[in-house]
Structure 1
Amino acid sequence: MDIHRLHTGEAEALIAAKGAELQSLRLGGHDLLWEAGPLWPRHAPLLFPIVGRVKGDTLRHGGKAFPIPRHGFARDRDFTLIEGTTTTCTAELRDDEATRAAYPFPFLLRVAYTLTGTSLRMDLALRNPGEAPLPASLGLHPAFRWPLAPGLAKATHRLVFEADEPGALHRLDTDGLLDPAPRPTPIQNRLLPLDEGLFREDALIFLEPRSRSLSFEAEGGPGLELRWEGFPHLGIWAKPDPGPAFLCLEPWEGHADPADWNGDFVAKPGAFTLPPGATRRWNLTITLTADS
């Protein structure tokens, strides 16, 4: 599998072997995913086994140091297609000598996509095939076109959250680590009007969002609903730019190392631990809502 095409009616999704990454999503005649242009060369990378950066780009475990890049290695590894139809596909990544040089644990990660006429669902499962606990983080990083359709003004776009979000906002410091100092949320009455200025200090990070869904919409254009399960954190990110650009809506379980934290990876804030033989699951559904 280099590229697997899912299609039904007007709906189409392209899934790459590299990173099991969603590369294109067309629903209702709208191309919704960022085209991976020079501004940012990815579409929707999978973040595993870390989300964000670990301090010094070094995973520390059992008194040893393992170099690992921001967001981990899964996004740059070839997954194996184990099942594929016109509307579904499942791919997997297993540990090997190369992964264990950065992340010294056995694992089996599966990613499945299901396309309908108006939505794409992504199911993820991580199994611990080893005999010791498996610490990990996992996150999604889909980038949607902003504006959502040609001719729309970027300033007409907004996010509408499922619930009120009075909790604190967090930012990253200049080293890409989590600034532990909380800031006031920019979300008011479930609404976040979108403006490039929101992202001059990098991502908006919500460690305890109440919502498990949100809508990305614009006056006079299409809208998207994202609904997720299993992810307790949420990141929102864009690169400020006056030209065509993207908005990343990112459910996570895990986040960058806090700037004031040092420790073994098994105790990393925000990460989870799987017992031997256990499996953990997450999902995300992207649905086209009616044009405004």
Structure 2
Amino acid sequence: MQAPATSSPAPSFTQFQGQDLVRVGGHDNYLLLAPRAGARLVRWVHRGEDILHWPDPADWSQPARVRGGNPLLFPFIARHFVDGAPGAWRDANGAVRALPSHGFARDLPFALTQYDAGSHIAMTLRASDATRAGYPFEFAFEAGYRLLEDGLEATLRTRNTGTQPLPYYAGHHFYFALAHEARGAAVLEMPDADLMRQRADGALDALGAGAASYSLDDARLQDTFHVLRESHTAPHAAPRACILAMPPNAAAPRGRRLAIELDTPALPDAPDAPAAAPWFAVTTWSEHADADFYCVEPWLGLPNAIHHGTGLRWLAPGQEETAVCRLRILA
């Protein structure tokens, strides 16, 4: 992670729903982001079409609760439980600490730390008084986005800036735009995975092997964790990917095929290069049958991992990890 600049980059702003959002990109290929509202990616427009869902109107008094864009999940994903009750976790010393579902990152302002108006942005959240009561660790959590000719690269980077080991498992929550009436004709292709769900008390249920493809109205997808099996390591092999194929619909008049590439690219051969954090699972979810979105979410761990350990990651003092996914528009 680069050292923070002595002064913040000067961003380009666009008015959207009465908000000043940071803009990256050109006329019909661009991003709109809200660094001060959880570093939320609000819009991704590719060749004039919105790839992500965002409601109109949206309640900007509580942006973390808005169903849309890409909320950032950190330090823990989804629900964690103490004695069967959600919203808290127990540390190694037995202290119980309150922490909201999906963590606190989506509720807090990020600093703009890298910016190029035409191509990329990085935003960073650091430990503060607002984070230490629920998560008594020192950290720097960076979210970066880079426009590609055929899509978008999204990077999560976490550094332990403290003196004790840091537990975490972060993730994305992409809300892909899809008219609900087209859901039955939309197909999601998945890499090799084993299915799991979370019980009401936070424990995990194993559901067996996942399928190679699903229609998006398949009940097996709802609130399901697709725990990725180990990737092959053959040179030049295609990356593992989830492929979302939509028929023509109100959100994508020409239809759309979108690949979420999951394998972390090779990092520079340098002593200080951050370690690669492999994606652990992909979660599929939508709010209800009439919702005009479907979520396909790369995660670094599983809910409640701080207690059951499945997908829990640890960073040693000074250690840094990065996780990259690429979203490519295939057609």
Q: TM-score, structure 1 length as denominator?
A: 0.84
The correspondence for 1:203, drawn from 203, 219, 223, is 223
CA spacing shift, 1:34–1:21, aligned 2, 3 Å: same
Partner of 1:147: 179
Matched with 1:288 is 329
Distance 1:36 1:139 in 2: 22
Q: Secondary structure at the match of 1:122?
A: strand
Where 1:34 maps in the other structure, the secondary structure is coil
Structure 1: distance between partners of 2:229 and 2:53:
25
Aligned equivalent of 2:285: 237
CA distance in 1, matches of 2:300, 2:165: 17
CA contact (8 A) 2:198 2:205 kept: no
Distance 1:30 1:184 in 2: 37
Runs of 4+ in 1 over 6 A off after TM superposition: none
* 1:60-116: CA deviation from partner (whole Å, max 9, x where unpaired): 112211100111000111000012121211110000011001101000111111113
Q: Tell me, in whole angstroms, the C-alpha distance in 2 between the residues paired with 1:90 and 1:186.
A: 34
Unaligned runs of 5+ in 1: 259-264
Query: What letter matches 2:223 in structure 1?
Result: A
| 1:94-173 pair list within 5 angstroms | 94-147=126-179, 153-161=182-190, 163=191, 165=192, 167-173=193-199
- Post-superposition CA distance 1:197-243 (Å, at most 9, x none): 445xx41112234573111012351111111232111111112223x
1:214 aligns with: 242
1:36–1:43 CA contact under 8 A, matched in 2: no
Greater relative contact order, per chain length (Cα 8 Å cut-off, separation 6+): 1
Q: Secondary structure at the match of 1:195?
A: coil
TM-score by length of 2: 0.75
How many residues in Structure 1 have an aligned counterpart in Structure 2? 271
Contact 1:9 1:117 in 2 (8 A): no
Secondary structure of 2:197's aligned partner = coil
Find the aligned partners of 1:46 and 1:100 in 2 and give their Cα distance.
18
Q: What is the aligned-residue RMSD (CA, Å)?
A: 2.4
**Distance apart, 1:136 and its partner CA:** 0.8
Amino acid at match of 2:112: L
Q: What percentage of residue pairs aligned between the two structures are identical?
A: 27
Distance 1:153 1:196 in 2: 13
Take 2:73 and 2:241, find their aligned partners in 1: how far apart are those partners? 20
- Give secondary structure in 2 for the equivalent of 1:49: coil
- Shift, 1:4, TM fit: 1.2
**Residues 183 and 215 in structure 2, CA contact (< 8 A), matched pair in contact too:** no
Which amino acid is the alignment partner of residue 186 of structure 2?
H
Is 1:250 aligned to residue 297 of structure 2?
Answer: yes
- Please point out which of 33, 47, 50 is paired with 1:15: 33
Which range is displaced more, 231-240 or 33-42? 33-42
Counterpart among 79, 100, 110 of residue 69 in structure 1: 100
